Chains A and B, each alone.
Chain A
């Protein structure tokens, strides 16, 4: 009886693994094209020069990033090369300080600190942090917070001082802005920004 023959099951193991792996490879090629910067779900780094929002789309039934007109970051416009250099540093900050071992990015990481997927769009910056840091812009407020989190009263789970330099804080802020423009199929759901208010 074939079900008693190990060769039958060995063939099954090989074929199921091979078929699924091939499908995965094809899906990977398509996914990579979608998530490479400039792909259909991930904007180019120069999106940091534009206004970003996140709104519920009734047709798709999920929240989607909305890319608007020009919005300078730190009072200037970044070229493609400059933006990429900034992103490289920003990602190195995130890795060198192990942010993924406190926070989550697209829900991945650790759950001790807030999710940072749409952190750039969080209404708390305008409501609380701009006045607290006495900054003249949201990005400046974020930079001041990152450089000296211990200076600003927090709800109780204090962010440690990770010796982030100004250059690193600027890059991280830009990185958060770019990240907030990625289409993550509606995650996080129900995130209300107050952009444009």
Chain B
């Protein structure tokens, strides 16, 4: 990796996870309050996470295996909040 690339890539990776957290936060708030607009804010956060995923895959000098890992993580991050929330509702009865 070239000298400057690693900083860009690192910051994008950090933003990737941060946006996943924001999506999880707003999605859960939206479900709890039964307010669509919070959930939509969550989806906007995920949208930006997806954009960052695309940027990383297209621009960061990572091998194909690592690119697939980032994509798989992005998909997992999309699924985790609704799955976790549904499960919490189920077990709390």
Contact = CB atoms under 8 A, between A and B. Distances in A.
B91 interface: yes
B11 interface: no
A1 B91 CA distance: 10
Contacts, number: 5
Interface residues of B, number: 3
Secondary structure of the B contact surface, majority rule? helix
Nearest to B90: A4
A1 B89 CA distance: 14
Contacts of A1: 90
Nearest to B87: A3
Interface string A1-12: 101100000000
A5 to B, nearest CB: 10
Contacts of A3: 87, 90
Contacts of B90: 1, 3-4
Interface in B67-93: 87, 90-91
A4 B89 CA distance: 11
Interface residues of A, number: 3
A1 B90 CA distance: 10
Nearest to A3: B87
B82 to A, nearest CB: 14
A1 B87 CA distance: 11
Interface string B34-71: 00000000000000000000000000000000000000
Nearest to B91: A4
A189 to B, nearest CB: 9
Nearest to A1: B90
Nearest to A190: B3
B7 to A, nearest CB: 14
A4 B91 CA distance: 6
Nearest to B86: A3
B6 to A, nearest CB: 10
Interface in A136-156: none
B35 to A, nearest CB: 27
A3 B91 CA distance: 9
A4 B86 CA distance: 12
Interface in A1-45: 1, 3-4
A187 to B, nearest CB: 13
Interface of A: 1, 3-4
Interface of B: 87, 90-91
5 contacts: A1-B90, A3-B87, A3-B90, A4-B90, A4-B91
The 5 closest A-B pairs by CB, nearest first: A4-B91, A4-B90, A3-B87, A3-B90, A1-B90
